[in-house]
Amino acid sequence: MLFGRSKKKKAQAKVAPQPIASSPPETPRAKPPPRAPAPAPKPAPAKKLIGQLLVEAGHISPGDLTRALEQQKESGGKLVEVLIDMGSIDRESFQQIMAKQPGIASIDLENYSIPPELASIVPREMAIQHEIYPIDKLGKLLTLGMACPLDTKTIEELTERTGLRVKPILCSHKDIQDCIAQFYGDKESD
């Protein structure tokens, strides 16, 4: 039996090794089609001017706007105030239009507790002139109640003056006047 075993080993040794199957040669891949350039981001819609908004909403006529702009050039002041003085629009209508604008948050200040120390951030004269009042401060962010949150000049002026980022919130004229009277004293006492 020993002999028989050795024959098997010899027979196995004589068997030629089988070549390992190789994969077929790679065919060159076609280049992927060029990618279409990513669409350019849509530009942010330009903020409309207050006069344009009021005309589009049907609250004033284009003629009212023209007259108010002429009067504003002569006497200065804010366009909304000129339109109110002319009787072209009232404060409540203006407030309703602003509340419907995208991106404009509003708050009812009579239901909000305002820390009295915030009054020191905005000078009294500026608060009265621009109908604004600071309602909250968190770090470098100042939340500012405004009768007209589209008043970018006032926002820029306050940002420059305080070094804070200003987040405008729509508040009623009455709420702003009440805060000014409560925290700065009545404006008639000047």
Q: Do the domain assignments include residue 4?
A: no
Same domain, 77 and 148: no
The residues pairing with 142 across neighbouring beta strands, listed in sequence order, are 137, 166
Q: Are residues 141 and 177 in the same domain?
A: yes
89 and 115 belong to one structural domain: no
Return the H-helix or E-strand segment holding 161.
Answer: helix 152-162
65 and 132 in a single domain? The answer is no
- Does residue 152 fall inside a structural domain? yes
Do 124 and 165 share a domain, yes or no?
Answer: yes
Q: How far is CA 70 from the centre of its chain?
A: 31
Among residues 126, 123, 122, the alpha carbon closest in space to that of 135 is found at: 122
113 shares a domain with 94:
no
- pLDDT digit string (tens) for 30-78? 666 666 665 555 444 445 678 888 888 888 899 999 999 999 899 888 8
Distance CA 160, CA 126 (A): 13
Instruction: Return the number of other C-beta atoms located less than 10 Å from residue 105's C-beta.
Output: 11
Identify the CA nearest to 95 among candidates 86, 104, 82. Answer: 104
Same domain, 185 and 113: yes
Task: Give the structural domain span for 149.
Answer: 109-189
**What is the arithmetic mean of pLDDT over 172-184?**
91
CA distance linking residue 5 with residue 60, whole number of Å:
112
Show Cβ contacts of residue 168 under 8 Å, excluding neighbours closer than 6 positions.
104, 144, 146, 149, 151, 155
Q: How many domains does the chain have?
A: 2
How does DSSP classify residue 31? Answer: P
Q: Is 44 domain-assigned?
A: no
Q: Which of 109, 151, 110, 115 is nearest to 130 (CA)?
A: 151
Is residue 37 a part of any domain in this protein? no
Residue 154 has pLDDT above 70, yes or no: yes
If asked whether residues 157 and 182 sit together in one domain, one would say yes
What integer pLDDT is reported at residue 5 of this predicted model?
Answer: 54
Amino acid letter, 66: T
**CATH code for position 155:** 3.30.300.160
- Domain assignment present for residue 169? The answer is yes
pLDDT tens digits for range 98-147? 888 888 888 888 888 888 899 999 999 999 999 999 999 999 999 999 99
Domain identity same for 184 and 137: yes
135 and 159 inside one domain: yes
pLDDT score of 43: 42
Q: Is residue 26 part of a domain?
A: no
Same structural domain for residues 114 and 91? no
